[in-house]
Structure 1
Amino acid sequence: MNTPPPSPPSSSTPPLSLSLSRLSINQETVKQLSLPELAEGCVKEGVTAVGLWRAPVQEYGVERTARLMRETGLAVTSLCRGGFLTGIEEAPRARALDDNRAAIDEAAALGTDTLVLVSGGLPPGSRDLAGARERVADALALLGPYAEERGVRLAVEPLHPMFAADRCVVSTLGQALDLAERFPAHQVGVVVDTYHVWWDDQAPAQIARAGRGGRLHAFQLADWITPLPAGVLLGRGQLGDGSIDFKALRAMVEAAGYDGPIEVEIFNEALWAREGAQVLRETARRFRTHA
């Protein structure tokens, strides 16, 4: 008798515990570590992948970083970040496009197929959210083919609405998908970051929508802790310290077809003040327990 295949997990059925083979340590989580220290720490802890950021990579050297990754056997799961594409004036828009092309080139040199994009906030004096989002779409139309030629996908990351004014006019997965779906899925997809979407009752439906379209390009974890610090940007918490049900969200992205790396990306001054290798070790332990 044929046995029917198992049903995909739902948000009410937490998935099994993860092995470290799925973990990617985002560089900002342990930004106190140099790139060689990060690579050494990952190898020591059995972590096989990292997400990198442009500024420290540029400081160390793109080709030098790529060589370090190859020599230590670390996969680069994403590069952060491109974006900031909401400018109105011609000269700033041209500069932003040039910078994003450079970011795409850097991603390709590092061997990652995913460049994370943060759209940018409202230009000074503007209150036109719809117009700002449309300018992001205009930029994606130019950048998508350029990225495709280099084997890189653009992953639009929606940020929590508290960042809409100054950092990201794309606030929900639905808005991110409305942009991405104008373009081929191999050019433009989305990032599901738990910190930014956990609150949204439409997130489950939008995660499923992203999966149907083949647009789940990255999955990132950070916890929501309160009270939020001044400026709010550095309020992302260590896994297990806050309010987010990571297992439920992972069940959703896996039911939608995502089986790729899971980045832990935390901006937190208290973590940065600690010894980096200790934070890396703790993050790996929390990942196995909470993700």
Structure 2
Amino acid sequence: MNRLSLNQWTTRRWSVPEAVEGCRKHGIEAIGLWREPVAEYGLAETVRLVRDAGLRVSSLCRGGFFTGGTWLRDNRAAIDEAAELDAACLVLVVGGLPGVVPGEPPGLRTSRDLAAARTHVAEALESLVPYAEERGVRLALEPLHPMYCADRAVLSTLKQALDLAEPYPAERVGVVVDTFHVWWDPEVFDQIARAGDRIASYQVCDQLTPLPADVLLARAMMGDGVIDFAPLSAAVAAAGYTGDIEVEIFNADVWAADPDGVVETMKRRYAELVLPQD
């Protein structure tokens, strides 16, 4: 259980201090932080709070969204924050098609040139890696389920993420293996094996069926959906990953529930369904 990490969005009602206290109270040794609540509480204050609690920061979410006009400035700021927090990685959600805003229909300025959008991601990464290297931050490319291709991530498979990461040292650019986003991929086990020491983060949650009206909230507590976690955890372990295992859930019912109860259920389901077996 010492590898279990609570992603802050799983207990979204908790502020940064409440999430840190929740980890301490429930014996969780790592936390995945989000930039927005960290900014609200204060970066320096968060650094002190996390260090005083003896927690590891398993990830900082998120950088990316390279189609925005201020992407370079925003991502350099995210890298600086990850360095201050001593985060194991900065998660990059690379963004969708230019002009597509999450939750909104396409507009007059929407580009439908998917190939160009993916080329821009590669160019953006090339610009960011030297800056991240100077600050000792590991970038982690996260492929998202194809249903988010237009508005959130033109990287849809682990293979695509690994192809982008390949020109760089593994300690500088890694990938996120998120069960929600990769479980469906017929190549996932081959790509996990290929990833090896490029696995920067292993995130887990289930997928609801049927999908809710807002597919962003289709993530579920482990065991409440359709994902078989054991083979995925075994593959990640066989690839050599020994870092934190982070539970990240976007789900309206989970958010509405008592956070302490959510964490207790999370710990139990993690031990029963996710924890790699010897």
TM over 0.5, yes or no?
yes
Quote the residue 1:98 is aligned against. Answer: 73
Residue 86 (structure 1) shift: 3.2
Unaligned runs of 5+ in 1: 1-19
Which of 41, 61, 73 aligns to 1:80? It is 61
Quote the residue 1:17 is aligned against. Answer: none
Quote the residue 2:82 is aligned against. Answer: 107
- How far apart, CA to CA, are the structure 2 residues paired with 1:240 and 1:280? 14
Asked if the contact 2:205–2:221 (Cα under 8 Å) also holds between the matched residues in 1, the reply is yes
Residue 223 (structure 1) shift: 0.1
- How far apart, CA to CA, are the structure 1 residues paired with 2:26 and 2:268? 10
Which of 131, 136, 150 aligns to 1:151? It is 136
Asked if the contact 2:206–2:224 (Cα under 8 Å) also holds between the matched residues in 1, the reply is yes
Any idea what SS the aligned residue of 2:216 has? coil
Counterpart of 2:188 in structure 1: which amino acid?
A: A
Any idea what SS the aligned residue of 1:233 has? helix
- How far apart, CA to CA, are the structure 2 residues paired with 1:160 and 1:146? 28
**Is residue 243 from structure 1 mapped to residue 226 from structure 2 by the alignment?**
yes
- How far apart, CA to CA, are the structure 1 residues paired with 2:225 and 2:169? 36
Which of 211, 214, 224 aligns to 1:231? It is 214
- How far apart, CA to CA, are the structure 2 residues paired with 1:149 and 1:77? 20
Unaligned runs of 5+ in 2: 100-109
Residue 142 (structure 1) shift: 1.1
Quote the residue 2:239 is aligned against. Answer: 256
| Percent sequence identity over aligned pairs | 61
- How far apart, CA to CA, are the structure 1 residues paired with 2:122 and 2:171? 16
Any idea what SS the aligned residue of 1:21 has? coil
Which of 125, 144, 150 aligns to 1:140? It is 125
Aligned residue-pair number:
264
Any idea what SS the aligned residue of 1:51 has? strand
Structure possessing the higher relative contact order (Cα contacts under 8 Å, 6 or more residues apart)? 1
- How far apart, CA to CA, are the structure 2 residues paired with 1:36 and 1:131? 42
- How far apart, CA to CA, are the structure 2 residues paired with 1:44 and 1:285? 15
Residue 178 (structure 1) shift: 1.1
Q: TM-score, normalised by structure 2?
A: 0.93
Asked if the contact 1:145–1:187 (Cα under 8 Å) also holds between the matched residues in 2, the reply is no
Counterpart of 1:232 in structure 2: which amino acid?
A: V
Counterpart of 2:191 in structure 1: which amino acid?
A: Q
